[in-house]
Each structure stands twice: as C-alpha cells, then as structure tokens.
Amino acid sequence: MFFVLKAVMSGILIAAVSTIARRYPGLGALVASLPLISVFGMIWLWLETHDPARMEAHVGATFWYVIPSLPMFLLIPWMMRHGVSFALSLGAGCGLTVGLYLVMVWFSQRMGVSL
C-alpha cells in the first residue's frame, strides 16, 4: 500500500509540472527544477529505514549524479533551436547524460568518492 501511495504522489507531481508548463513554461520549469523527486525519495527512504548512514550515502550520491545531468538541459534546447526534432534532441540529451554518468562513476572511483 505504501508503494501505491508513493507512486500516486510522485505521479501527481509529474502531472502538475506538465500542466503548469503548458500554461506557464517558466513556472513549470521552476517547479520541475526543484529537487522535489529527490526530497520525496529521501522522505520515503527515511520512513522505510530510519538509517542515517543510508540517508547520508543516498544524499551524497544524489549530489554527484546531478552534476552530469545538467548539460542535457543545455543540449536539448540548443539542438531544437537548430532544427533537430524533439525526439532526436531528447535521445541525444539522454545519451550525453548516460555518458557523463559513466565518466562520473569512473572519476569518483579515482577520487575515492563512494557512489
């Protein structure tokens, strides 16, 4: 039952972002940029485990994974401004992000950061 509650609340958030963005793109972007999914994830994790060490590891890893995801938000609009379709732009943005995630994992291992 808890899983269903988590899914419904998370789904409502995604639906709200797309609904707001349809009418007010800037406000929709602001809401989408808030780390609400991360906050929900932290709340769910805490409620399920009450484990400070697990929470610390989760939040720390989330920080490091946010960094390689940011260039996607520059690449997609740049490609679309240059006539590339949304689907191809989105695919390229996701591909870039996956590649940068791999670089981040490799780099973090070299720097002693545990993800």
Per-residue pLDDT tens for 31-78? 888 888 889 889 999 999 999 999 999 999 999 999 999 999 999 999
* 92: its two tokens: 């390229």
pLDDT value at residue 32: 87
Q: Name residue 107's amino acid.
A: F
Nearest to 88 by CA among 101, 79, 97, 96: 79
pLDDT value at residue 103: 96
For the stretch 85-111, pLDDT in tens is 999 999 999 999 999 999 999 999 999
pTM metric for this prediction: 0.78
pLDDT value at residue 58: 94
Find where tokens 């920080």 sit: 63
As a 3-state breakdown, the chain gives helix, strand, coil percent values, each rounded to 5, of 85, 0, 15
